[in-house]
Chains A and B, each alone.
Chain A
Amino acid sequence: MSRKLLAGLALAATLAAGCAGSAVAQDPAKLNDLEIAHAAYVAGDIDIRNAHLALALSDDPKVREFAELMIRDHEAVNQAALALLEKLKAQPQDNAFSQALLKGAHDTWAKMATLSGHAFDQSYAANELAYHQTVNHVVGDAFIPNVENGELKTLLGSALDTFKAHERHAAEMVKEVGS
């Protein structure tokens, strides 16, 4: 089984948890460049909103530091993506994959908003680790190999370096906030 397919299945499994009854997510390996740009932007925006939720609900300094990092880094990557699209005079294209990402995120936010204190911190940390693992597989195994525009490929590669660091940081946060 190819890594690309595994990545797609991993994301589908994650999304399925928050997408009961919704359409099956579009295969990320079949997106065109403008759809990939849209999905990558949406994925970053979701993590920014995750972080704002954490800043609103958590008092844990480690969680808050991670959340601030997510806002700072994902905003920078998304701004770079928008600048590239503007340079290319291209518009990102909404697609079923982006919509499934958003649907899953809304379900996650609804659940996390009911939590507080340590329970929230644990949930946020675990979700950040799972989210980065999934998104990193998709970006590395589906988006980057399939994207045609060289500049977008380079941008995604640079972004993936950052997201992998986030994944390692999230794994440390999971250990630190306990299980």
Chain B
Amino acid sequence: MQAAKPGAGSVAWSRRRVLAVLSLAAFIRPAKAEGATVEMHQLKFAPAEIEIAAGGTVTFVNLDLVPHTATGDAFDTGTLRNGERKEIVFTAAGEFPYLCKFHRHMTGRIVVR
């Protein structure tokens, strides 16, 4: 019969309890969705391509003097003037190309996985 080492039982129990609490917490609190920020700067989207998790939020912020939009088939920030920002939540997986409808050479792509 193997003798239990002093304290080993309580450490193992603590680990199990921590794991259980963390597992429970995962059910109680939804996982925080991954997010990203896209800057509109010098008439470019930066970064031009990003990848986020489904449910994630992309924040578009205009740092240029002139108004911009981020417009795709599935979303549109509307007109953002200097200093303005808009958050867009992407719930479905897929690829979402977009452009500024005022400056059509400004293009970007969001991949939602």
Contacts and interface: CB of A to CB of B under 8 A. Distances in A.
Interface of A: 69, 72-73, 76-77, 80, 155, 158-159, 161-162, 165, 168-169
B65 A165 contact: no
A149 to B, nearest CB: 16
B22 interface: no
Contact of B65 (A69, A76, A169): A76
Nearest to A168: B105
Contacts of A76: 65-67, 81-82
Given A73-B67, A73-B102, A165-B103, 11 more contacts: A69-B102, A69-B103, A76-B65, A76-B81, A80-B65, A158-B42, A158-B64, A158-B65, A161-B42, A165-B43, A169-B105
Interface in B31-49: 42-43
Contacts of B102: 69, 72-73
Contact of B67 (A72, A155, A161, A168): A72
Closest 10 CB pairs of A and B: A73-B66, A76-B66, A161-B42, A80-B65, A165-B43, A77-B65, A158-B65, A162-B66, A76-B65, A161-B43
Nearest to B42: A161
12 contacts: A72-B66, A72-B67, A72-B102, A73-B102, A76-B66, A76-B67, A80-B65, A158-B64, A158-B65, A161-B43, A162-B43, A165-B103
Interface of B: 42-43, 64-67, 81-82, 102-103, 105
The dominant DSSP class at the B interface is loop
The dominant DSSP class at the A interface is helix
Contacts of B65: 76-77, 80, 155, 158-159, 162
A165 B81 CA distance: 18
Nearest to B63: A158
A103 B64 CA distance: 31
A162 B67 contact: no
A168 B102 CA distance: 14
A49 to B, nearest CB: 18
A117 to B, nearest CB: 25
Contacts of B42: 158, 161
B66 A77 contact: yes
Contacts of B103: 69, 165
Contacts of A69: 102-103
Contacts of A158: 42, 64-65
Contact of B82 (A80, A161, A168): A80
Looking at A80, A155, A159, A165, the one whose CB has the most chain B CB atoms below 10 A away is A165
